[in-house]
Amino acid sequence: MADPKDRDQEEVEPTSPPHEQEQTPPEQNKKNNEPKRPLFTVTGRDDNSRRKNGDGDGKRPWQRISKTLAFWVFFVLVAIFASKFFGSDPSTDVTLSYKEYKGLLETQKIQSAVIIDNEFHGTLVTEEITPPGSGPQRTYKDFVVNLGVIDSEAREEWLNNGVDFRFESKPFNWLNVFFNFLPWLLFVGLWLFILRQMQGGPKGAFSFGKSKAKLVSEDTTKITFKDVAGAEEAKQELQEIIEFLKDPRKFQRLGGRIPKGVLLIGPPGTGKTHMARAVSGEADVPFFSMSGSDFVEMFVGVGASRVRDLFEQGKSH
């Protein structure tokens, strides 16, 4: 006979279904389908340092300041031109002919006058109406007339007709002098600009064969292998290059020569340029950056010329 306790224990023990297959949850399938992580994982220090040092857009701070200054100078010049040629004349004096001036003087309607460079700026005793045929009629009290030459007879005539007059010198206007010399200044500036371009600056209009490589300045934050996360195998392989760059004479005494170059392969954004900057930072040598598209040009031989110029720049540093 079977013990009742054993029977109860046999009834309590669960039985697992045979041939049950373990299923993979859908979340794990999504993880398996995710793209692999890039070969080089970089920290955010490079981006922050580039923003602080003005390298985020490939331009240095002084270049942005010079462009801003040039924009404001151009804006001020345009405003001066507009106010000079299109602005309204603040003067309210009515211009009279010599005959009209003589009629007012002989009838003793002129109270006072200021003479500036043969111009008679008069003030009437009472307001008058502009004569017909000289434009829209309006009342005026101040007028101006060009007398040409002022002699002693004109002065006696003013005194006899009770005109209180005085002589003033015309103030020196620097703005008029500037506008008189502005065409010559623009011509000289354009000529100097053309000469500078023809001399073959790195970005000149006539320097097609010059390299467009950008030299990372010494003021920027230095990038080292500490700023590159992962890629230990790549770092280890690049140590030989760093030793060559630090002390090339040590290897030259033994007959060794530095490798011609290192090819870093990977999709965009995996840190190839960052790794190259880290190599230059570890070896404390200048770093030139140039895109492959900069070597392509519509003119034959320009790409090869830019390659040679890039190596010449590297040798000079």
What DSSP line would sit under 105-134, residue for residue? Answer: HHTT-EEEEEEETTEEEEEEEEEEEPPTTS
Q: Which pLDDT tens digit goes with each residue over 148-186? A: 888 888 889 999 998 999 988 877 777 777 777 877 887
Antiparallel, parallel or unpaired: β 94-95 and 41-42:
unpaired
Chain centroid to Cα 73, Å, comes to: 13
Antiparallel, parallel or unpaired: β 119-129 and 214-215:
unpaired
CB 264 within 8 A of CB 276: yes
CB 229 within 8 A of CB 37: no
| pLDDT, position 28 | 47
- Identify the architecture of domain 209-316 in CATH: 3-Layer(aba) Sandwich (3.40)
CB 130 within 8 A of CB 138: yes
What is the average per-residue pLDDT within 205-227?
62
What is the reported pTM? Answer: 0.34
CB within 8 A of 119, min separation 6: which ones?
A: 144, 145, 146, 147
| pLDDT, position 311 | 77
Q: Strands (DSSP E) along the chain, which ranges?
A: 41-42, 94-95, 110-116, 119-129, 139-146, 164-168, 214-215, 228-229, 288-289
The pLDDT of residue 234 is above 70: yes
The pLDDT of residue 62 is above 60: no
CB 43 within 8 A of CB 229: yes
Query: Residue 221 burial by CB count (10 A; 0-12/13-18/19+): exposed, middle or buried?
Result: middle
For residue 73, CA distances in Å to 81, 185, 187, 231 come to 12, 15, 17, 50
The pLDDT of residue 228 is above 60: yes
Domain ranges in the chain with CATH number 3.40.50.300: 209-316
Higher pLDDT, 38 or 29: 29
Amino acid letter, 254:
L
The pLDDT of residue 257 is above 60: yes
Percent of the chain beyond pLDDT 90? 5
CB 125 within 8 A of CB 104: no
Neighbours of 96 (CB within 10 A): 22
What is the average per-residue pLDDT within 120-136?
80
Question: How many residues does this entry show for the chain?
Answer: 317
Query: Residue 153 burial by CB count (10 A; 0-12/13-18/19+): exposed, middle or buried?
Result: exposed
Return the CATH number of the domain spanning residue range 94-168: 3.30.720.210
Amino acid letter, 72:
W
pLDDT category at 51 given cuts 50, 70, 90 is very low
The pLDDT of residue 14 is above 70: no
Least confident of 264-268, 279-283, 284-288: 284-288
On average, the pLDDT of the chain sits at 70
| pLDDT, position 19 | 42
Q: d(Cα 150, Cα 155) in Å, to the nearest integer?
A: 8
For residue 168, CA distances in Å to 37, 103, 255 come to 84, 24, 89
- 120: β partners: 115, 145
The pLDDT of residue 96 is above 80: yes
CB 234 within 8 A of CB 271: no
Q: What share of the chain is helix, strand, coil (3-state, %, to 5)?
A: 45, 15, 40
